[in-house]
Structure 1
Amino acid sequence: MVNPMDSVNLFADETGEGPSALVLLHGFGGSHHIWDEVRTFLDPSDHILAYDLPGHGQSLEALGEGAAPQFAKLILADLEQRGVSHAHVVGHSLGGAVAVLMGLFQPQRISRLTLLGPGGFGPEINAALLKDLAHAASAEEIASSLRAMATPDFVPPGSAIRQMAAERAVPGQLDALKVLLSRIVRNGRQGAFTPEQLASLSMPVTLVWGELDPVLPFVQAEGAPASFHLVRQSGCGHMLPLEAPEAMASIITRD
C-alpha cells in the first residue's frame, strides 16, 4: 500500500468524475498538454485524469529521488485518494513504462493498458534525441527536437511548442529534466522489463508503435508478449499523441 500523502504535489487535469477513469500519462519532457488534441476526439463527459508526471509541468516539485517506479506509486496513491478503483491507463514513452509498473504494482486497479511507444521494452534508446529535448528551451529548439523525434515531414503544432516553451521557462524545469534523464538513461541504455514481467500483466494490453520511431526502435514492439494487441502505426515516429491524435483517440476508445 502506498501512502496517499506522497501524491500531495502531483497535478492532474481532471474532467468528469466517478470510480472509473481514463488516465493519460505523457512522455519525458512533456506535460498533460501533450494530450490536448487527442482529448478533442474523446467524450468530454468521461472521467479523464491527464497527469503531469513528477518533475514536469505543475508536478515539478514532486520529482523526488526516483524515476518510473516512484512515479507509478505516486499516481496509484493519487488514484486511491480520488476514489478511483478502476483505471484504463494510457501511457506514452516514459508514461508507458509508468503505466506498465502501475499494472504490475496494483493489477486490481488497472482495467486496461494502452501503451504508445512505451519505454522499457528493450535497452536500446536514442539518448542523443532525449538529451536534445531535455536541453531545448526556446521555441525553435523545441520544434527542432520534436521534429527529430517524429518523422522528417512532421510539423509540430504551434500551440504545443508555445506550451512547452512556457513550461520550460519555469525556474528549475530544465534542471529537473536533466536530472531525470540521468536516471532514465545510463551509458546510452535504458532499463528494460523482463519478458516474465510483461507476460505477467493480467489486464488487456494494447501496444501502439510508430514504424518510423527514431527514439525507441520498432523491433522492441515485435518482442512483446503474444497476448498484447499490437497496432503498427505506419508513417509515424515517436510522438504519436501529436502526430496522429485522432488515430490515438480511436485506439484508446476501442473496445
Structure 2
Amino acid sequence: MSSAKAPLVLLHGFGGIGAAWEPVLRRLEPDLPLILYDLPGHGRSLDAERVGHAGVMAKAVLGDLDRRGISSFHLCGHSMGGAIASLIALKASGRARSLTLLAPGGFGAEINHAALRRYASAVETDELALALAAMFASGSMPDPAGLDRLAEARRLSGATDRLMEILRSFLVEMDGRIGQGILPLTSFESSGVPTRLLWGREDPILPVAQAKSIWTGAEVTLIDGAGHMLTDEAPDAVASAIAAALLTG
C-alpha cells in the first residue's frame, strides 16, 4: 500500500458483491485506502477456494491480507460479512484497528432462512427486487443501479449453486428448527478491538434483539425505520460509524 494509513476492509453480506458498498463509499473520504472484496463464491470471486461458512471465509480473507503484506487494517462487515469481520478481528486482534458491524450474522440462532433461500436463487432484476424487498424495512426498496450490478453477477454460470452451497454451510438444525451457527461471543470480550454495532429496528432477517449479544464496551446504534440492508437503507449512519472508527488509529 502506498498510503501510510491502515486500509478499510469492507466485507459484504451473503449473496452480495463488493459494489453493494457504493452508497456508503459515496459518503466517505475519497482518498481513503480501501480493500473491497467480492467474498469467496460471490461475484468475481465465484470460483475462489475456501468457500463456506464465516470461519472458512475469515481464513481466506486474512490469508489474502497477509499475502498483500497488510500489517494493520480497519474492518467493516454486513450480515455474513459481519460474522467474517468479527472472526478476523478475533484471530488478528493486534492488527485490527477497529471493527464496525452492520446487523452481523452469528449473534443468535434465529434467522429468516426462507428469505435467504429466495434471495440466493434469484437471478434476474425483477426476481432480485422482490427477494430484496423482503430484506428491507416496509416501504423501502433497493437501488435500481445496484440491482442491475447484482443481476449481472448472478447470471454467471454456477452463481446460484455456489450461493446455496454457502447457505447450507452456515445453517444448522437445532431442536427441529433451522437456524444459524453462533460466534464464540464470550471470546471477544478481551480482544480489545474498538467495536461499533449498527442494527435496523425493523430487520426482517436477523432480529434486532440479537444486538444485545454484543460484548461489553461496544458502541451500539439501533436505527429506526431500517431493515437488514443498512448499506442501502442507512448509508449516512454507516458512513458516520466508519468515519468514527477510522479515528481510532
**TM-score > 0.5, shorter chain as reference:** yes
TM-score scaled by length of structure 2: 0.92
User: 1:6 maps to which residue?
Assistant: none
Task: Tell me the matched-pair count.
Answer: 241
Amino acid at match of 1:186: V
Structure 1: gaps spanning 5 or more residues: 1-14
Q: Residues 195 and 72 from structure 1, CA distance in 2 versus in 1: closer, same or farther, beyond 3 angstroms? A: closer
- 8 Å contact from structure 1 (residues 16, 48) kept in 2: no
What secondary structure sits across from 1:91 in the alignment?
strand
User: 1:26 maps to which residue?
Assistant: 12
- 8 Å contact from structure 2 (residues 52, 165) kept in 1: no
- 8 Å contact from structure 1 (residues 18, 47) kept in 2: no
- 8 Å contact from structure 2 (residues 133, 141) kept in 1: yes
Distance 2:211 2:51 in 1: 30
Is 1:70 aligned to 2:60, yes or no? no
Q: Residues 71 and 195 from structure 1, CA distance in 2 versus in 1: closer, same or farther, beyond 3 angstroms? A: closer
How do 1:234-253 residues align onto structure 2 when only pairs under 5 Å count? 234-253=224-243
1:102 aligned to which of 71, 83, 88: 88
TM-score scaled by length of structure 1: 0.90
2:23 aligned to which of 25, 34, 37: 37
User: 1:117 maps to which residue?
Assistant: 103
Post-superposition Cα deviations, 1:8-59, rounded to whole Å, max 9, x if no partner, equal xxxxxxx974461101000000000110111011112111111111000111
| Superposed structure 1 runs of 4+ greater than 6 Å apart | none
Amino acid at match of 2:184: T
- 8 Å contact from structure 2 (residues 51, 57) kept in 1: no
Cα-Cα RMSD: 1.5
User: 1:198 maps to which residue?
Assistant: 188
Post-superposition Cα deviations, 1:69-89, rounded to whole Å, max 9, x if no partner, equal 121111112112222111110
What secondary structure sits across from 1:246 in the alignment?
helix
Is 1:84 aligned to 2:40, yes or no? no
Distance 1:67 1:221 in 2: 21
Distance 1:138 1:65 in 2: 23
Deviation at 1:64, TM superposition (A): 3.4
Deviation at 1:185, TM superposition (A): 1.1
Distance 2:185 2:62 in 1: 23
Distance 1:182 1:45 in 2: 39
Amino acid at match of 1:134: A
User: 1:165 maps to which residue?
Assistant: 151
Distance 2:15 2:168 in 1: 13
- 8 Å contact from structure 2 (residues 40, 51) kept in 1: no
What secondary structure sits across from 1:125 in the alignment?
coil
